[in-house]
């Protein structure tokens, strides 16, 4: 199953004082997109306490836990850009927080699609600094979807 990133699940130039606040913000974007119940956000926060979702290049990918699968309505992602960054782990800063909602193995496909875009430091930097939603859509939408 593919996901479709939309403008309503992207927030550019946001600010957060903590990774918990940033995780909540990414979760609220998933709720706004109709991907999850609001209680899914608690699972995202719990996941972060048990295992960091920071993946490098200034990117974190908060998502829920196995117990939260019933709270997912459909597969989707949200993108929260924090230009000043927010400390995530070991003094590493995250500038791009990508919330993931999936109630099946779709998360593996999502991660594969995202990895292509964000494993390149230059692309990750572009996404962290852009003021154009179209740039985020072009780089992070799943292949074979129309934007």
Which residues carry out catalysis? 63
Rounded Cα distance between 35 and 28, Å, is: 10
* Stretch (H or E) spanning 97: strand 92-101
Residues 78, 29, 36, 27: is their CA dihedral positive or negative? positive
| Closest to 15 in 3D by CA, of 98, 61, 81, 79 | 81
């Amino acid at each position: 199953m593919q996901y479709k990133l939309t403008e309503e699940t992207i927030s550019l130039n946001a600010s957060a004082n903590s990774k918990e606040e940033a995780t909540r913000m990414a979760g609220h974007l998933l709720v706004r997109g109709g991907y999850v119940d609001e209680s899914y956000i608690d699972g995202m926060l719990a996941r972060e306490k048990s295992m960091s979702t920071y993946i490098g290049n200034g990117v974190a990918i908060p998502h829920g836990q196995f117990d939260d699968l019933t709270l997912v309505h459909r597969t989707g992602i949200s993108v929260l850009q924090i230009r000043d960054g927010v400390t995530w782990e070991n003094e590493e800063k995250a500038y791009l927080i990508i919330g993931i909602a999936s109630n099946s193995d779709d998360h593996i496909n999502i991660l594969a699609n995202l990895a292509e875009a964000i494993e390149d430091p230059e692309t990750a930097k572009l996404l962290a600094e852009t003021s154009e939603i179209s740039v985020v859509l072009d780089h992070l939408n799943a292949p074979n979807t129309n934007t």
